[in-house]
Every structure is written in structure tokens, then in C-alpha cells.
Amino acid sequence: MERQGEFQGKVALVTGAGSGIGRATAIALAGAGAAVGLLSHTRAEIDSAAAEINADGGRALPLVADVSDDDAMRAATASLSEAFGGLDVVVANAGINGVWAPIEELAPEAFDRTIAVNLRGTYLTLHHAVPHLKRRGGAVVIVSSINGNRTFTSPGATAYSATKAAQVAMTKQLALELGPHRIRVNAVCPGKIDTQIDDNTDRRAVDRTAIPAEFPEGDIPLTGGAPGSSAEVAEVILFLARARHVTGTAVFVDGGQGLLR
């Protein structure tokens, strides 16, 4: 039986939907009634997530694409809109940590790869989604980070932090640009969350870039040091997707972690 919920009749696109925050958000949106396009470059992960949603009475469409590929993102967005009749919510979540290294050792190709996925990927997601959103208004939520916005002590995270700061700048710029089209644009800035993003982090010469700062034992005040969950970030994303008078805002989901750094 088809689910009923506050997002009934809405269509959502979630990038990086195969695991972590993206998967939790896609499942939460589907649980609230939305038809969801799950986008990732990894077919097996989104097939698994889509199967879980469909088996639970939701509607999900796997979309295989690299967010940094213009043609692939154009095709994926068009396929989702055609399959479900439009687009109302976009969660630009796909991202990598990339290489964290001293600036003199951060190779141009490593810097460019982080920019391509995190920043170009966000741009292309919105570039191709916004024409669909303009037809009936909607909401965009960009998944940024405390890095580059509250926190600057992650050793060697220059490229990553730059992309995350830029995402918040995009959020504010586009909130004004798209407001007249009834499109709201907000961001979430997670701290330490139980995702697999560390699996794609290449840390180099950490001892040479580490900041000599001491943090209290349990540096996430709200949890005594335990990381937050992907589902807790998804809760905030859903709030922003439905909060009709909130736009241009970055919400920190870090249990107070960023305030210590």
C-alpha cells in the first residue's frame, strides 16, 4: 500500500544516496510520502536502498551518475522528473573528504578532484534541478560541514574546507536568487557523524599540519564525545525541506562540537 505523509505527492532528489546521510535522508523522505530519486556513482548501494524503500511501500528510482559529470547529471535529473512528474525537493549531499595534506604537498589533481565532486557536483545538481523546481517551487538542502564554517583545525583539509565554505556561500546567494521562484535554499553543517566518509579520506603528513590545540575529553558536549547519527542529520534536512519561511540558513548539526574548535 502506498504511503501517506507530509511529502505525499512530492518528488525528491538525493545525491550521494547510497550510504550515510544520503541514504538516511532518502529513506526518511520516502517514509514521509515522497517519491525519491537516489543518485550515486555506485549502482549496488542505491539499488539496495531503493529496494528497501520499495519493499516498505515507498517509491524509489535508482539513478547512476557522477555528480561532477554534466551530461550524466542532466540525464539523471530529466529521468527523475519524467518518471515521477516533476521535482520538489533537492538534497545535494554527495561529497568526498579527498586528500588532506600540507599545502605544498597537496597535488593539483587531488585539489581538483575534491573541488569537482564537492563544489562542481553541487553546482551541477542545482544547475540541472532548478529548471524543474521553478515549475512549482520547492526546497533545496545542501549538505556542507562544520569544516570551513566553524572548524579550521582539521590537519591539511584545505581543499575540503574550501568547498564546504563555498557551499554555504552558494546557499545564501541562491536563497536570494531563487526566492522569487518560491524555491528555498538552506544548508546543514554536520560535525562528526557515523558515516563512511572517512573511507575516502587520504591523510598525509598529519603531524606536520596538526594544530597544537587541546580539547576536553569528549569533544562533542551533547554526547560526551559520541558521534551523531545519519538519521539525526536527516531529521534536520526534512525540517528544512518543509520549513516554509526559512531560507538562506545554515544549521549546524554537531552536538556543539564546532563551538569547542
Concatenated DSSP letters for 101-165? --GGGS-HHHHHHHIIIIIIHHHHHHHHHHHHHTTT-EEEEEE--SBTTTB--STT-HHHHHHHH
Alpha helices in the chain (DSSP H): 20-31, 43-55, 70-84, 108-114, 121-133, 158-178, 206-209, 230-242
> CA-to-CA distance for 242 and 232, rounded, in angstroms?
16
Pairing verdict, β 183-190 and 250-253: parallel
Q: Does the active-site annotation cover 123?
A: no
Catalytic residue among 100, 111, 160, 252: 160
Query: Which residue numbers are catalytic?
Result: 160
